[in-house]
Each structure stands twice: as structure tokens, then as C-alpha cells.
Structure 1
Amino acid sequence: MPCNYIFTANNLNVDEVLEWLTIEPITTWRKGDTPFIKSRQPLTCSGFKLATSRADFIDSDQQIQDTIDFIRSNKTLLLRLKDLATKLEEADIEVDFGIETRMHDVGVQMDHWSAELIQLLAEIGAGLQISQYHPSVEEDEEMS
């Protein structure tokens, strides 16, 4: 998913949170689970992801607007999760924007994250993460 709210903690009881979480997570994991990548060690924390935007990787403006709308619409729940994070070991909340890298086309890639978004992230106790992905093979072929 292009933009996700990610909640992790060392001692998070995911099943307990799922009982009152009003948004269906796109994925959950538990401490000790074996990750999909075989070479990695068992997971050291539990967590879940919620989709904040399903906009395409090349549409960061839409991802930002969708995420602002998501936070506004779910603020009570997100504040409850922020409060929960203060009670857990090594808890972390991130909002991860998946964007397409343009570094193969330009010397510098500059993206703008609005003050409104940054303020809302701070209110819900979330950090901002940006994950850059290479364009898909189909997009590469279309550009040729």
C-alpha cells in the first residue's frame, strides 16, 4: 500500500487491540513470528498496519490529502493508540508514504509534506517515514 499507519511495540497484544480497533488492518504480526524473508530472524515486536491512502506511488499529493482525511476521520481512535503506545515497551508509530523514486531522472528529488500533515502526525504521536520504490517494469516500458 502506498501509505500506511504502522504501530509496533515489544509487548503489544495484537489480539487485544483487534477487539476494539474499528479499522480493519491490512496486516498484523506477532513477536516471534517468522518473517516472509527467510534470511531474517524471528520478529522482535508485534504490530499492525492500517492503510491511510491507496493512491498510486506517483501521486504523493493525493496520498497526503487522503492521510490528512484519514487522521481527521479517525482522530479519536488514533489518540487512543497514541495513549496505548505510552504504556508499552519500545512502542513506535509511523506513517509511511510509499513513493516512486525519480532519482534516475533528476539530480535531486524534492517532495513537500504540508505543515498541516506534520501537525496532525505530531498530534497522534506518529513519525513520518518515506519509502522510495523503483518504478514498476510496466511503467519503465511505457516511458521507453
Structure 2
Amino acid sequence: MNKVPRRIVTGIENGKSTIIEDQQVENAVEHLPGLVISDIWNTQKIPASLDLETQIPNTGFPQTPKNGTYFRYVSIPPDKDLGVEFKAGEPHPMMHQTETLDYIIILSGELYLIMEKGETLLKPGDIVIQRGTNHAWSNRSDQACIQLAVLIDAE
């Protein structure tokens, strides 16, 4: 699977539906070795405007707009390639928390979702509903894991 996704954006031209963009995303960033993140789309409010796109900075940890949404593509390399060491009994060094409701879909590879209490192995087709909890991702395999995430501002 390609580490830089293709983005197709639709719209209206002369009253007819059309494809207004069809290209690889331009803001794929390698934040750590092999960790490729591309922030595909965002909305600044809900309900969303259908004819407005505001570019947002591509960051390692997402910064979802207040009352908005954030759609991101992430390729997570094996832990050994990232240089992340996870020691049993200690918090994972990539543990983080966002004030968002996240819908995460695993497209390829496998990945552990690590919580403060417990963890679970995710495989292609698995869906995570992340509700503003402290968490980390750990790829203990030999291949990258591709995930899609939609983050929605939450309280």
C-alpha cells in the first residue's frame, strides 16, 4: 500500500457534480523515521461547509479545530524502526490524549492499541472508537500499519 495516499475531492461546477481534485496528497510528512502522517481534510465547524477547505498544519499529534473535524492517514512503522522502546510496567513513551471522539480503521498491517489498563491487537478491518482516552500505538510486527482516523471535537 502506498505511504502517500491519493485524495479525490468532489464539488459542483455549473450545477453538476464533478471531481475537482484527483492527486496524491501534498502534505504527507515523516514525523519520525517511517511514521508518515497526512492530514487529508478538516472542517472548522459543524455543520460543515461543503465548499470550504482550510489547510491545517500537519502535526505528529492532531490538533482538531474547536467544533470541527480532522481526517488523517497514518502509516506506522514497526517499533524497532521508529526507535521506540517500550518497557513492561512503564507508560508507553508515545502515550497521548486528545479531546476528541475518534473513528479509527485499520487498513493494513497490525497494531497494538495500548491503554493505561490493558491492550489489544488490531488487524485489517478492525475499527476503534476512541473516546478521549489516554492511549498509544505499538507496531510489534515487521511491516508498516496503515490506519485512517476521523477525529471529532468533543467535550
TM-score range, shorter chain: under 0.3
Higher helix share: 1
Instruction: Return the structure number with greater strand share.
Output: 2
Q: TM-score, normalised by structure 1?
A: 0.26
